[in-house]
Amino acid sequence: MSYDKRLDGRDFDELREMDASVGVIPRADGSAFFRMGGTSAYAAVYGPRQTHPRFLQDPAKGVLRCHYAMMPFSGAGDRVRPGPSRRAKEISMVTTNALLPVIDLHAFPNAIVDVFISLPQTDAGSRCAGICAAALALADAGVPMNDMIGAVAVGRVDDKIVMDLCYDEEAYKDGPVADIPVAMNHRTKGITLLQMDGEISKDMLMKALEKVKKAMDKIHEKQVNALKDKFKEAKAEEKPEKK
Task: Look at residue 46 and tell me whether its pLDDT is greater than 90.
Answer: yes
Would 133 be classed as within a structural domain? yes
Find the DSSP H helices in the chain: 86-99, 126-141, 167-170, 202-238
- Which residues does residue 197 pair with via DSSP β-bridges, in sequence order? 179
CATH number at residue 187: 3.30.230.70
Domain span at 155: 18-235
Tens-digit pLDDT profile for residues 158-167: 999 999 999 9
Task: Tell me, yes or no, whether 219 lies in a domain.
Answer: yes
Question: Who contacts 7 (Cβ-Cβ below 8 Å, separation ≥6)?
Answer: 166, 168, 169, 172
Q: Is residue 42 part of a domain?
A: yes
Residue 9 lies in a domain: no
> How much is the pTM?
0.91
Domain tally for the chain? 1
Question: Is there a domain that residue 164 lies in?
Answer: yes
Are 138 and 103 contacting, i.e. CB atoms less than 8 angstroms apart?
Answer: yes
| Cβ neighbours, 10 Å, residue 108 | 21
Over residues 2-39, the pLDDT tens digits come to 888 999 999 999 999 999 999 999 999 999 999 999 99
Residue 10 maps to a domain: no
* End-to-end alpha carbon distance in the chain: 70
- Is residue 2 included in any domain, yes or no? no
